[in-house]
């Protein structure tokens, strides 16, 4: 059982415990992640991640709200917040606090398998949410994208494996993410972005995820035609994520 399968097993148990929501689904007031990633320059989604299965504790006792403010000041187009508690040290309350502190879109990054998680995201202020192709079948992906649209939340649909590149391309989500982390070995390989670039839907915003560490990496994926990157671990590991993001973006000029 790989780490994703372990996480999904926990998520299913969490969903079993979640109280069923009742009432009419009302759209939330949100900012558009797609719009802010549509800049002529490559955009950065900066991530708040306390720990991970591959890294262990990344930045213990960090202040997520201050990090979020620093990210925005450093030029982040959007902020991603890990809300999984058991494996990533996150919490939905962190996302809520972050959203109140910044004026840019906030993405809920979690292992979303149920519409209740999207409703929960919207209720605490999220503007968008992550869907992982390896965690869902194509029908579930489309269903959750459409449910998000009903709530006025956008989906970033990512894939890790080549087998899912075709599925995601056929769905052609507004925002597609290529994650270069191998879910079996948990290693990253940024050359994967080049191999996948020709297989991405032409009309989608394209996001390169994981493995981005330097301004040269940023330029590399920009030259491949990606519109944005999602960067977390390499920023958080420095101990001063905002300053690290400033250096990352500044290195392009």
Is residue 82 within a helix (H) or strand (E), and if so which, with residue range? strand 78-82
Active-site annotation holds for 158 = yes
- Catalytic residue at 213? no
Distance CA 111, CA 202 (A): 26
69 given a catalytic annotation: no
The whole-angstrom separation of Cα 63 and Cα 67 is 6
Catalytic residue among 80, 109, 154, 234: 109
Concerning whether 210 is annotated as a catalytic residue, the answer is yes
Is the distance from CB of 98 to CB of 48 less than 8 angstroms?
A: yes
Write the CB contacts of 177 (distance below 8 Å, at least 6 apart in sequence): 130, 156, 157, 158, 159, 206, 207, 208, 209, 230
- Catalytic site includes residue 61: no
Active-site residue among 99, 158, 164, 234?
Answer: 158
Query: Which is the catalytic residue, given 72, 120, 154, 209?
Result: 209
Catalytic residue among 47, 72, 96, 120: 47
- Phi and psi dihedrals of 107, rounded to 5? -105, 130
Catalytic annotation, pick one of 11, 49, 51, 99? 49
The residue length of the chain stands at 253
Out of 52, 80, 179, 234, pick the active-site residue: 179
Is 109 marked active-site? yes
* CB proximity list for 45: less than 8 A, separation 6 or greater: 37, 76, 77, 78, 79, 80, 107, 207, 228, 229, 230, 231
Q: Which residues are catalytic?
A: 47, 49, 109, 158, 179, 209-210
């Amino acid at each position: 059982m790989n780490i994703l399968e372990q996480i999904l097993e926990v998520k299913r148990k969490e969903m079993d415990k979640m109280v069923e929501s009742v009432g009419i689904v009302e759209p939330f007031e949100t900012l558009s992640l797609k719009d802010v990633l549509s800049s002529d320059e490559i955009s950065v989604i900066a991530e708040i991640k306390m720990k991970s299965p591959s890294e262990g504790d990344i930045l213990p006792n960090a202040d997520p709200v201050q990090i979020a403010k620093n990210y925005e000041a450093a030029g982040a187009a959007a902020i991603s917040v890990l809300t999984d508690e058991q494996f990533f040290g996150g919490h939905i309350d962190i996302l809520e606090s972050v959203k109140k502190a910044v004026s840019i879109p906030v993405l809920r990054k979690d292992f979303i398998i149920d519409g209740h998680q999207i409703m929960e995201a919207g209720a605490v202020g999220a503007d968008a949410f992550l869907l992982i192709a390896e965690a869902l079948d194509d029908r579930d992906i489309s269903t959750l994208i459409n449910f998000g649209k009903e709530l006025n939340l956008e989906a970033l649909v990512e894939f890790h494996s080549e087998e899912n590149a075709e599925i995601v391309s056929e769905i052609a989500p507004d925002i597609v993410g290529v994650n270069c982390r191998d879910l079996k070995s948990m290693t990253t390989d940024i050359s994967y972005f080049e191999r996948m670039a020709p297989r991405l839907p032409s009309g989608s915003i394209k996001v390169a995820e994981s493995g981005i560490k330097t301004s040269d990496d940023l330029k590399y994926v920009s030259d491949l035609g990606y519109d944005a990157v999602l960067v977390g671990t390499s920023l958080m590991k420095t101990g001063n994520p905002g300053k690290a993001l400033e250096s990352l973006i500044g290195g392009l000029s």
